[in-house]
Amino acid sequence: MKIVADANIPFVCECFSSVGEVEILSGRDITPRKIAHADALLVRSITPVDGQLLQGSAVRFVGTATIGFDHVVVDYLQRHGIGFASAPGSNANSAAEYILAALLEIGRRQHLRLEGKRIGVIGVGNVGSRVACKCEALGMQVLRNDPPLQRRTGDPQYVPLEALYDCDFITLHTPLTREGIDKTFHLADAGFFSALKPGAVFLNASRGAVTDSEALKAALQAERLRAVVLDVWEHEPNIDTGLLERVDLGTPHIAGYSFDGKVAGMIMIYRALCEHFGLSPQRQIGDFLPEPQVPRIQLETVGLGDEELLARALDQIYSIRRDDENLRQIVGQPADGRGRFFDALRKNYAVRRESHNTTVVPDPPRESLARKLRGLGFHGECGFVSAAPLRPGSGTRNPKSEAAVLQWPGGRLDFSRGCLVMGVLNVTPDSFSDGGQFLDPDRAVEHGLEMAAQGAALLDVGGESTRPGAPSVPAAEQIRRVIPVIGALAEKTDIPISIDTRHVEVARAALLAGAALVNDVTALADGGMAELVAQRRVPAILMHMQGTPATMQLEPHYDDVVTEVRDFLLARCDRARGLGIPPEHLFIDPGIGFGKTLEHNLLLLQNIDRLVATGYRVLVGPSRKAFLGRITGRERPAERVFGTAATVALCAAAGVAVVRVHDVAAMADVVKVAQAIRQAI
């Protein structure tokens, strides 16, 4: 296979050479002649991919290692049977951290305190949702505008554009569309700027043409804006240097250029190419991420405010001032060389790592600072908790030293004492162990509260049995079963409630009713489910299953069950992260009993430490399952408590984060003892 690739995709040769012969070119040097005999084309945003480029070529797959794909004529690819993949969300965290760096720098220069200020986020997709979340962590009041999302979800958090005009800050994170009711071309035009609150701060890190440059210059000339930050420009790479000289911070379209984001985008299109051509992926993201340049930051907190300390921490891993200074040198270049200079800044961009690679140690600790550092994504010690797992592939967790609290807008889970117990609540007539017992909503709520009192740290509510051979249950029926239960439990207990479903409609209804996380036995196979999880900023449990509940136990086969299950889950996590779900929100579940024989289940449990070593939190659900009955001779599921206890003890001792069980009181004791032994070592 011949692959032509943009040289700006990191490690593209090292990765894709595992499946073909790779030729790298500058993005602007990719021409019809140079791709004529290529089987696959890999680009970034500067290469227009259309009929003019592809006509007559042998290309059967196009991948862009970027979030957006307005440089690709997807209709043409579809009409000609050419496979396509982008990397949605791969650099979302990078772009969000760029915005936070810009806000903190503008706050410094303008002597503005961000906490308490109102910020309008226009476009709440992969990047915008991250920006909103990080701004809320800073104590800012966030207004979200996203008409397509509002129509699709009906969620009242999405407000009309006019509601944002009185905000202190406005930041753009929309795709570029030139027609239709959601057209964003020149969305920020003269009328937009005239409607903004006088003295507002304007930021654009989406697409250059979303802003009308002349209208922006006029608003600056009229002193309507307090400050402007631009990372994207009309007519790149030949940008308006007059506009650059007027803005407060200008950078060369690098908001999403973190090394982590680039590698994630590369891996996403690598896996998509392998799937398209029926190849087995040989590489994963952990193969390419080096140790961070700044693994640890000591922050002296005495006499300094939270926002100055945040700015100092972020400065050590990313200096937005340096990018601004570098771009301003374009003014001194000959006019006919400015485009090349702009491109060179992007091509030769320095390695920049994201905050989750760095541990911050405030001295002395300060809880308000801890919350904000956590919201920006840093690891931490000495009184502030970590929002991210270890980098996948970096080794196992140490329960004695790891700050281990997962906190999100809808809930909180404290792993500092080790494994947590999840109580199973099946609101079904046909679940393998307790089908029909809790179909009545009042009885289900009573049992849920009972499990909470017995030591469950979270509850998993499901309205569809996924036992072997189980038929699918319509979403409407699942909703009828679970929503009254979830709503009542959310009012009566503070522990997080998980919705156990593979149907996005059920998950959406459950989250609105009070559920705080999603447990999906298909590992977010439905793109709509992943999008919902990202938008709602909730954790998700990704489980491995071979086949479907109806077919999964029909002669399941693996060459190496542990490796195949691990690699599947890592691939799904890569995809989820690319869609905007932060790694700390992802749990992985090997799917004991889901498309596995007795031997497969035992091998997975024997090697559960290999899943723990990925750095993602691991959930295991062995409770009362048939393989335990085969070992013990116990035919009735309710009699398999001791068999369950053996697996729970093993999992807790191995560093598993959550065990999903029916017998909460007994298993809570098992976990306590196993954890005490583990921590005494």
Catalytic residue positions?
207, 236, 253
Give yes or no for a contact between 316 and 297, defined as CB atoms under 8 angstroms apart: yes
DSSP run (H or E) holding 312: helix 306-315
Q: Tell whether omega for the bond before 637 is within 30 degrees of 0, i.e. cis.
A: no
CA 530/CA 507 separation, integer angstroms: 11
Give the Cβ contact number of residue 351 at 10 Å: 13
Q: Which long-range contacts (CB under 8 A, 24 or more apart) does 19-24 make?
A: 19/273, 19/274, 19/277, 19/279, 19/282
Do 546 and 569 touch, CB atoms closer than 8 A?
A: no
Report CA dihedral (377, 378, 379, 380) to the nearest 10 degrees.
-120
- Strands (E) located in 207-354: 225-230, 249-250, 296-300
Q: Tell me the C-alpha to C-alpha distance, in Å, between residue 35 and each of 22, 40, 52, 66.
A: 12, 9, 12, 20
CA distance 339 to 343: 6
Cβ proximity of 225 and 107 under 8 Å = no
Cα angle vertex 429, ends 426, 433, to 5°?
55
Strand (E) or helix (H) holding 311: helix 306-315
Q: How far apart are CA 409 and CA 373, in angstroms?
A: 15
List helix spans (H) across 383-523: 441-454, 475-492, 504-513
Q: Are strands 379-380 and 21-25 parallel, antiparallel or unpaired?
A: unpaired
Token pair of 354 as six digits: 């994201």
CB 33 within 8 A of CB 59: no
Q: Are 346 and 44 in contact (CB under 8 A)?
A: no
